[in-house]
Copies of this chain bind each other. A is one copy, B any other.
Amino acid sequence: MRLSSLLFLVCFFTVAMSQCAAAAKARHFRWEVSNMFWSPDCEEKVVIGINGQFPGPTIRAKAGDTIVVHLKNGLHTEGVVIHWHGIRQIGTPWADGTASISQCAINPEETFTYRFVVDKPGTYFYHGHYGMQRAAGLYGSLIVDVADGDEEPFKYDGEINLLLSDWYHESIYTQMVGLSSNPFRWIGEPQSLLINGRGQFNCSLAAAHTPGAKQCAAAGNRHCAPVILPVLPNKTYRLRVASTTSLASLNLAVGNHKLTVVEADGNYVEPFAVDDIDIYSGDSYSVLLTTDQDTSANYWVSVGVRGRQPRTAPALAVLNYRPNRASRLPAAAPPATPAWDDFARSKAFTYRILGRAGVTPPPPATSDRRIELLNTQNRMGGGHVKWSINNVSMVLPATPYLGSLKMGLRSALPSAARPSDTFGRGYDVMRPPANPNTTVGDNVYVLAHNATVDVVLQNANALARNVSEVHPWHLHGHDFWVLGYGDGAFRGDAGDAAALNLRNPPLRNTAVIFPYGWTAIRFVADNPGVWAFHCHIEPHLHMGMGVIFAEAVDRVSELPKAAVSCGATATALMAGAGGHV
């Protein structure tokens, strides 16, 4: 147990609260979410902003602090919630910010208070988790420093924060209609990639090196002026990189500079140096960069698309070696993004991410349960396209699970039929589904308290031949150990299960499954609540690619009324009142 955790416990149980004031404090924020005009890539559209900003304000705290966000919904007709991605919400499952799962969406003009402890230092972010509001721009950074007196297991002189996203010119409303339509309409590729909310559309900052591109203005519009990252020579910087893309898998490189990976998803990893890093939606990393290059130049930071045939130009930012002028664009070509379909390279990067020796705890040696989740693309009702897990596409209920499960409301509960822990060995993951028909369902897995659970995510061929996509799966309420990856069908106890890495697997909250491959994770169900586990690609989640883990809900303490003041939970509680209105 690290000092920060100890301090937190001490503060929690001691009556000598004065001692704790310095170590852990409550940080209060008053936020209002609203639609506003913004030009992330110099094309004006409507974004969801917070307090008039896009991306939303960065939260900066220390491990052990309590974050208190009074979130007012300033949208006109839409509900809203915010998920604190990577924060485990230990003891506060109602603050996880998932509509239909952990709380009732906040109605227009209402304020909901999120109050939770950031117990672990790391690079996190927050985002909308209702409909596709994340893709509309509802996101921001959440950075947790080590508690006073603690130290990171690496040194650096300064920090640079890079929140990456992608951006569509079509509204999310139109996107959602297309994804829900019969015939189905795919949203296509994003129009631009954004670094800290800024991108370039129909132009390049490095036009000289980009055939056919026109030069973007290097200044001007405050929404989309290039991101300039000032650094001093011969220093080491910690780049905090997180991706909240709707669709795109990304790769980040900095011209001429090596990157040393030291953190993934708020957990330390064994350091390793690379020329570039892959970042899937839902991932966060810290990488160290030393400014040891020619000090007379500035350098490109380049973010490009991997994993899907890119139709979106890389986003560029400028690493500005001071005292060079910021406006002096690098003369060199930006680093090229590796080929989108070089999955061998992607795997090589991902497989290098391991727990940090002496820091990352090892997983339990055995598990109590293994859940195998087959990801398939399917059709429903002839024309709807869905993603399914073990052939059931997830739909979310009107009444959030945390309330309905805790109150035992049968009518609002998931169907009595439990989803399957396995999909059967016969499925041919290399071909389109023999029978593409699917159904919708709850996909609620009930986990025993403190059970050690393995989940094997099994990828497969999509509806079209020779297509299998990348899916980054994100777990709420937990970190998990990534025990291993493999190609083709998982071979179970006889084969792959015996070869999993129990020695130094990394702890993460997001894990990718590669095309036609599998990924095995392990976690301990020690956090009572109801937790989503889903593909972090926004349209994939909208199309049903997820499951729900219901974990010892009877041990959850009293829910805030505001979290259950909708649907069947509200009706039941009001009926309990017995009063006449």
Q: Which residues of B contact A79 (CB under 8 A)?
A: 77-79, 107-108
Chain B residue nearest to A581 in the complex (CB): B559
B37, B130, B397, B565: the one contacting A574 at CB < 8 Å is: B565
Q: Report A100-136 CB contacts with B as 1/0, cut-off 8 Å.
A: 0000110111100000000000000000001111000
B558 touches A581 (CB 8 A): yes
Q: Inside 8 A of A465's CB, which chain B residues have their CB? A: none
Chain B residues with CB under 8 Å of A77's CB are: 78-80, 99, 105, 130-131, 133
* Contacting residues, chain B, for A562 (C-beta < 8 A): 571
Contact between A46 and B581, CB atoms less than 8 A apart: no
> A residues within 8 Å of B by Cβ?
34-37, 46, 76-80, 99, 104-105, 107-110, 130-133, 171, 173-174, 176-178, 180-181, 185, 396-398, 403, 406-407, 558-559, 561-562, 564-567, 569-571, 573-581
In contact, A181 and B36 (Cβ under 8 angstroms): yes
Taking a contact as CB atoms under 8 Å apart, the answer to whether A177 and B107 are in contact is: no
A173 interface neighbour in B35, B110, B559, B561, Cβ under 8 Å: B35
- In the assembled complex, the CB of A408 is this many whole angstroms from the nearest CB of chain B, namely 11
Pair A407/B574 contact, Cβ less than 8 Å:
no
A579 CA to B580 CA in the complex, in Å? 17
Whether B574 pairs with A181 at a CB distance below 8 angstroms is no
- Chain B residue nearest to A47 (CB atoms) is B177
> With A109-B397, A177-B36 known to touch, is A561 a contact of B574 (CB < 8 Å)?
yes
Task: List B contacts of A107 (CB < 8 A).
Answer: 79, 104-105, 398, 566-567
B569 to A566, Cβ gap below 8 A?
no
Report how far A46 CA is from B179 CA in the complex, Å.
Answer: 13
| Chain B minimum-CB-distance residue to A77 | B131
Can you list 24 A-B pairs with a CB-CB distance of less than 8 A? A35-B176, A35-B177, A37-B178, A37-B181, A76-B180, A78-B78, A78-B79, A79-B107, A105-B107, A105-B108, A107-B567, A108-B398, A558-B581, A561-B574, A561-B575, A565-B567, A565-B570, A566-B566, A566-B570, A570-B570, A573-B573, A573-B577, A576-B578, A576-B579
**Most B-side CB within 10 Å, residue of A130, A181, A570, A576:** A570
How far, in whole Å, are A558 and B110 apart by their CA atoms in the complex?
25
List residues of chain B with CB within 8 A of the CB of A109: 396-398
Question: A395 to nearest B CB, angstroms?
Answer: 9
User: How far is the CB of A360 from the nearest CB of chain B, in Å?
Assistant: 37
Which residues of chain B have C-beta atoms less than 8 A from A398's C-beta? Answer: 107-110
When A76-B131, A77-B133, A403-B581 are in contact, do A567 and B174 touch as well, CB less than 8 Å?
Answer: no
CB-CB nearest in chain B for A132: B76
Residue numbers in B under 8 Å from A108 (CB-CB) = 79, 105, 398
Closest B residue to A128 using CB positions: B77
Alpha-carbon separation in the docked complex, A108 to B46 (Å): 22
Chain B residues with Cβ under 8 A from A130's Cβ? 77
Question: Given the complex of chains A and B, what is the CA–CA distance between A429 and B409 in angstroms?
Answer: 59
Contacts of A78 in B (CB 8 A): 77-79
Specify which chain B residues have a CB less than 8 angstroms from the CB of A80 in the assembled complex. Answer: 77
Contact B171 A173, beta carbon cutoff 8 Å: yes
Given A37-B178, A76-B132, A564-B581, output 8 extra A-B contacts at Cβ < 8 Å: A35-B173, A35-B177, A46-B177, A77-B80, A109-B396, A559-B581, A565-B565, A566-B566
**Which residues of B lie under 8 Å from residue A174 when comparing CB positions?**
46, 171
**Cα distance A564–B566 in the bound complex, in angstroms:** 10
Min CB gap A253→B, angstroms: 36
Cβ contact of A576, chosen from B105, B110, B176, B577, cutoff 8 A: B577
Pick from A76, A403, A561 the residue with the most CB of B within 10 Å.
A76
